[in-house]
Amino acid sequence: MLPTVIASIDTLLARVGPGLFQQAFVVADLDAAMHAFTATLGCPRWVTLPGGSLPYRLRGRDVECTLRIGFARSGYQQIELIQPVAGNGIHVEFLAGHGAGAHHLGFLVEDLAAELSVARTAGLADVMSGEFGSLRFAYVDTWDVLGTYLELVEDPDGMMRQLMPWRDQP
């Protein structure tokens, strides 16, 4: 079974791998985590999103979740810190079941629906999805093999770049 799952993940990663832009962590205290990441990974500038309740699809059902989120850069990699505040979602589940830690790798994709179709055909389920403005995203369940989820992000208007214009600067 494990070789089949690894081959499934390889199929998806072969398509989306060049879009790797983000390492994300679920945290219990966003402010403390931003301080720690600044001290250890050299993330001096943060953009934060206020914790507003947003709708998501979680394993085929509609839920709402409130997340406080901070974005920074370490080298060329975006660091995302996510603090679940209220509601239901994989971030809430993760913090309750695992504590704070590495949660997902983020990949920019041109066509989220097409990549999710490839993932599903390869036997990989999308666990949670949502939208933020024109940005659409979905988390693919690669937990058992990689110890992390994969997040596929379709960003047609470049919202991520607008949030962090310094992204491509060393």
Q: Where exactly are the structural domains of the chain?
A: 2-163
Token reading at 13: 């990663």
pLDDT tens-place string over residues 120-133? 998 899 999 999 88
pLDDT tens, residue by residue, 72-103? 988 878 899 999 999 999 999 999 999 999 99
pLDDT band at 170 (very low <50, low <70, confident <90, very high): very low
**Could you give the C-alpha distances from 101 to 23, 83, 95, 158, in angstroms and in order?**
11, 11, 8, 27
| pLDDT tens-place string over residues 35-54 | 999 999 888 889 898 888 99
* Confidence check: pLDDT of 56 > 80: yes
What is the pLDDT of the chain when averaged over all its residues? 89
At 153 the pLDDT is 96
Q: Judge whether residue 3 has pLDDT over 60.
A: no
| pLDDT score at 41 | 85
Class of the CATH domain delimited by 2-163? alpha beta
What's the predicted TM-score (pTM) here? 0.90
* pLDDT tops 90 at residue 149: yes
Of residues 162 and 31, which shows the higher confidence score?
31
Rounded (10°) angle between helices 2-16 and 112-121:
160
Count of alpha carbons within 13 angstroms of residue 40, beta-carbon side = 7
Identify residue 41 by its one-letter amino acid code.
Answer: L
